[in-house]
Structure 1
Amino acid sequence: MFSGLSAFPLTPTHDGAVDFAAYRRTVSVAALAGADSIGALGSTGSYAYLNRDERAAVARAAVTAAGPVPVIVGVGAFSTSSVLEHVEDAAMAGAAGVLLPAISYQPLRDAEVYGLFEDVTSRFPEMPVVLYDNPATTGFTFSDDLRVSVAHLPSVVSIKLNTIPDGHDAASEYVEMLRGLVPEGVSIGISGDGASARGLLAGCDVWYSVLGGTFPGICQQLTAAALSGDDVGAREMSARLDPIWALFAKYGSFRVTAALATLSGSLPTDAVYAPVRPLSGSEREEVATALRAIDLLE
């Protein structure tokens, strides 16, 4: 579950509400394509824009649609009390684990973030927890020292890195260093999609993938190639996706993936929630051009 490809689906909308029929189709496609887990309600899944009831319903829908594929549910929230409610809802939905970011209106200190993870793991000792690092959306950046400290808490099972050093040797040395400091059995994951091949080839165990939620086929192939040691194959597949990685860097993976899903026919409308607006005009045409150039339709 905490290795291979973890596919993060968008949470589709219709008239401002969650489109559960479209969501179940999206999750089912990823599960059938060979994703090792589904990352429901990650940043791509718009968790921050949904209320508790909606998030609980999305978690239930994901678990149902995924079938035997385990679902990891995002539980991020401003307050610890809300986080604990979301963990409880995820557990009741049948989630196999939770994704826990550190988000807050007030800037957080390392001790406060450690305390958040400590509260969750002590309250729900049987629930596997993934340390979810995404400073672009949370405003908090984990230091290596904090990652290692959190990884030693009971039931923390994986670390999601948002970046990795450039170059194979530097990336491999970093993953090896980190692996030597965290407990045995804690997996190390890469989440920056453009760095996925580099991270997996450097020794990461899992790709927490934005693109995998919409185009799981090629992402599963890339993951399998990298984890089997097929350096050339993994790099070639990643290079094929360079136009997408460039757009992620330019406009953000959330808006670009939402546009990709609509332009490819996977979803009827862009899965973004106001005040976020879909890409339009020349920006949207750039996404369409990239989609045509790399023939991502599945």
Structure 2
Amino acid sequence: MFTGLSAFPLTPLVNGEIDESRLTHLIEHLAEAGVDSIGALGSTGSYAYLTHEQRRSVTKLAVNAAGSIPVITSIGAVRTDDVMRLAEDAQQAGVSGVLLAPVSYQPLNDTEVFRLYERVTAELSVPLCIYDNAATTRFDFSDDLLIALSYLDNVGSIKLGEFPADPVQAIQHVEHLKSQIARGVTLGISGDAQSTTGLLVGCDIWYSVLGGLFPHYAMNLTKAALSGNTTEARLLDRALEPLWVFYRRHGSLRVIASIAEIQGTVHSPCLPFPLQTLIGKEMAALESTLEQLSFLA
């Protein structure tokens, strides 16, 4: 489950309520494409903006729509009691794994983060993916902390966020972690624009925003990279550079949601207020760029 392509779809909203029919369509599309797993309620799925009941509903819907494809769902929340309840809801819904970022209002230290994961994993019956997402949590995992956490019960994967841009440093970073983390724990890469590099230097799984909307292209890129076909993987990644430009300017969520609205895959607006998709010249520029990226469909 924690290898290959894990596709993270949007959670489309209409007036703040879950658009169940559009969400079902997104999940079914991923299942039909044969992705290795589906990451419901990741950052792309706007988990932090949804109520407890909405998150429970989305998780159940995702599991039902995914068929035989494993579903991973986020259980991150500011209150640990809420994390535990979300974990229980997810397990009762039939997820194959859970995803946890150290969400907090007050900045956390390493000891506090370790205790959070220690408490949560002790009560799980499914594997957990450690979600390193400093861009949103403002918590930077050290290598030492990730290594220590990997030895907790029920830890199955580490989802890396920040990643060295220099290829040599990237290889050293992955080799160091893989030589020290617990056996059976996989390393995953997120941040679509850096994911090809991550896969080519030894990461086991791509936790993918792009894959949540364009699973076939993302799967082809993942397979090329994991099979060691560097030339093909780089070509597929390079073709997406016009899209990565928008990612860097606006963030992946706003861009992928804008694309889904342009395509009519979701209603507009689809994001939780006050977040919004692109407007004006930037939306027009994205539409023009999509014409160049017609191979994604």
What is the distance in 2 between the residues matched to 1:217 and 1:249? 23
Q: Provide TM-score, normalisation by structure 2.
A: 0.97
What is the distance in 2 between the residues matched to 1:216 and 1:8? 10
Q: 1:279 Cα shift?
A: 1.3
| Residue identity opposite 1:294 in structure 2 | L
What's the counterpart of residue 108 of structure 1? 108
What is the distance in 2 between the residues matched to 1:217 and 1:265? 19
Superposition pairs for residues 59-70 of structure 1, below 5 Å? Answer: 59-70=59-70
What is the distance in 1 between the residues matched to 2:50 and 2:200? 36
Q: 2:139 is paired with a residue of what secondary structure?
A: coil
| Residue identity opposite 1:127 in structure 2 | V
Q: 1:297 Cα shift?
A: 4.8
Q: 1:239 Cα shift?
A: 0.5
What's the counterpart of residue 239 of structure 2? 240
What is the distance in 2 between the residues matched to 1:35 and 1:286? 30
Superposition pairs for residues 19-168 of structure 1, below 5 Å? Answer: 19-124=19-124, 126-168=125-167
| C-alpha contact (below 8 Å) 1:190/1:206 kept by paired residues | yes
Aligned Cα root-mean-square deviation (Å):
1.1
What's the counterpart of residue 5 of structure 1? 5
User: Is 1:288 the equivalent of 2:276?
Assistant: no
What is the distance in 2 between the residues matched to 1:183 and 1:269? 44
User: Is 1:261 the equivalent of 2:268?
Assistant: no
| C-alpha contact (below 8 Å) 1:98/1:130 kept by paired residues | yes
What's the counterpart of residue 194 of structure 1? 193
Deviations 1:67-121 (A, max 9, x none): 0000000011001101001000100110000000001111111111111100101
What's the counterpart of residue 207 of structure 1? 206
Q: 1:182 Cα shift?
A: 0.1
Q: 1:296 Cα shift?
A: 4.5
Q: 1:140 Cα shift?
A: 1.3
Q: 1:152 Cα shift?
A: 1.1
Deviations 1:119-139 (A, max 9, x none): 101122x22000001111112
Structure 1 ranges of 4+ moved more than 4 A: none
Count of matched residue pairs: 297
Q: Provide TM-score, normalisation by structure 1.
A: 0.97
Deviations 1:135-155 (A, max 9, x none): 111121111111111111111
Q: 1:130 is paired with a residue of what secondary structure?
A: strand
What is the distance in 1 between the residues matched to 2:296 and 2:189? 24
Q: 1:209 Cα shift?
A: 0.4
| C-alpha contact (below 8 Å) 2:159/2:189 kept by paired residues | yes
| C-alpha contact (below 8 Å) 1:35/1:216 kept by paired residues | yes
| C-alpha contact (below 8 Å) 1:190/1:200 kept by paired residues | yes
What is the distance in 1 between the residues matched to 2:162 and 2:222? 17
Deviations 1:47-77 (A, max 9, x none): 0111111100000000011100000000110
| Residue identity opposite 1:65 in structure 2 | A
What's the counterpart of residue 217 of structure 2? 218
| C-alpha contact (below 8 Å) 2:33/2:216 kept by paired residues | yes
User: Is 1:271 the equivalent of 2:270?
Assistant: yes
| Residue identity opposite 2:39 in structure 1 | G
> What runs of 5+ residues in structure 1 fail to find an aligned partner?
none
**Mean Cα displacement is larger for which, 138-147 or 58-67?**
138-147
Q: 2:10 is paired with a residue of what secondary structure?
A: coil
Name the CA shift for 1:270/1:176 in 2 (closer, same or farther; >3 Å). farther
| Residue identity opposite 1:188 in structure 2 | L
| Residue identity opposite 2:64 in structure 1 | T
What is the distance in 1 between the residues matched to 2:219 and 2:88? 30
What is the distance in 2 between the residues matched to 1:271 and 1:14? 6
Q: 1:33 Cα shift?
A: 1.2
| C-alpha contact (below 8 Å) 2:14/2:269 kept by paired residues | no
| C-alpha contact (below 8 Å) 1:78/1:105 kept by paired residues | yes
| C-alpha contact (below 8 Å) 1:214/1:266 kept by paired residues | no
**Mean Cα displacement is larger for which, 13-22 or 167-176?**
167-176
Q: 1:14 Cα shift?
A: 1.6
| C-alpha contact (below 8 Å) 1:76/1:101 kept by paired residues | yes
